[in-house]
Amino acid sequence: MSKLKFLLITTSIVLLVSGCSSNESTSGNKENQEQEIKSEKESVKVTDEKEKAPKDQGEYEVWFKGEANRKGKLISVKGQTNLLPNSNLLVTMDGVEDTLIGGSDRVQVSEDGTFETDLKIPKSSEGLIEVRIEFDPHSDNQPIKDHYGENGEKLKGPFVRLQEESDMQQNITLLTLEIPQDESNAFAKIKEPEWDKPEDYGTPTVRLDEPDIQKDDKYLYIEGKSNLLEGTRLKGSLDIPNYIVSGLADVAEVNPDGSYKLIIEKPSSINKLKDVKEYEVVLSVSPADNQWKSNLEVYGLNGEKFMGEYVVNQNGVKEIEKTS
């Protein structure tokens, strides 16, 4: 092999190796740059979310805002709260006319306090839908429990409700939205509730004020005030002359100020009752109706401590009954 030929081959190899190193270096730099840009974007996103977070995020006085929108058979729930990021919200829905299976989702509060989820209404479901948004510190992760209390005892504000499980009282936050299905689209906005606890709240002498009853084509909307303890299960049913009807009823847990709301289908929703015009609304409280233990300590296991004009005796058990 001549010296010239040898030099040409050697030069070619050096150039080839140099070129490969250069390409590898360029490729490596490009990947690093892309990774840096991606990290910067993620950092900016997290920073932006924190900047948009409520100033009172994490305070014990809890608030919510937002709305639920229904388009066809899809309900989109979007909102914001000052609960701590990563707090778990249970969003459920149920029908006034039927029980909806699987209509729930659990979502976490984002860094900026927002939350959102979609719920699918079964095709067979008709009528009014009730969407509930619940925060229960007792069933959340440990940092959330530590902040709000093992049983939510540090929670404050109008969204806070009592809950009793296994004879243990807990504080949760709860709000309910009503979504009709009689139109193609509908929405309901989250509103802060206003409670007005009466002076005689919780006394064994039960007071049931005359309820406000509103009607539309399908339902009776019954709202009333009482001095019943929060969590008391109050039943509303229809008494129709010459008929025995069991399905036209609703049960509500009394609000923190003794108020309540019931929604009952009108008799015309049942074919054999479509011509019924006269009926009465019966409000009742029975100690046997899965009442909280703490409430039974006030009213008696058999209602023996109940007093007032609405007390009736049913086979040795005292109950509350009012007809409107």
For domain 201-324, the CATH class is mainly beta
Contacts of 155 (CB under 8 A, 6+ apart): 60, 62, 137, 148, 149, 171, 172, 173
Give domain limits for the chain. Answer: 54-189, 201-324
Angle, CA 62 vertex, CA 48 and CA 138 arms, to 5°: 105
**pLDDT tens column, 261-301:** 999 999 988 888 988 889 999 999 999 999 999 999 999 99
State in Å, rounded, how far the first CA of the chain is from the last one: 117
**pTM of structure:** 0.82
Q: Is the pLDDT of residue 83 over 50?
A: yes
| Fold of the CATH domain 54-189 | Immunoglobulin-like (2.60.40)
**pLDDT tens column, 206-239:** 999 999 999 998 999 999 999 999 999 999 999 9
**pLDDT tens column, 30-72:** 566 666 655 555 545 555 667 889 999 999 999 999 999 999 9
So what's the pLDDT on residue 206?
98
CA-CA distance, 163 to 173, in Å (whole number)?
10
Residue 36 three-state SS? helix
Give the lowest-confidence range in 82-86, 152-156, 179-183, 191-195: 179-183
Instruction: Let me know if the fold of 54-189 is the same as that of 201-324.
Output: yes
DSSP string, 247-305: SSEEEEEPPTTS-EEEEEE-GGGSGGGTT----EEEEEE-TTTT--HHHHHHH-TTSTT
Portion of the chain with pLDDT greater than 70, in percent: 85
Q: Give how far the C-alpha of residue 126 lies from the chain's centroid of Cα atoms, to the nearest Å.
A: 20
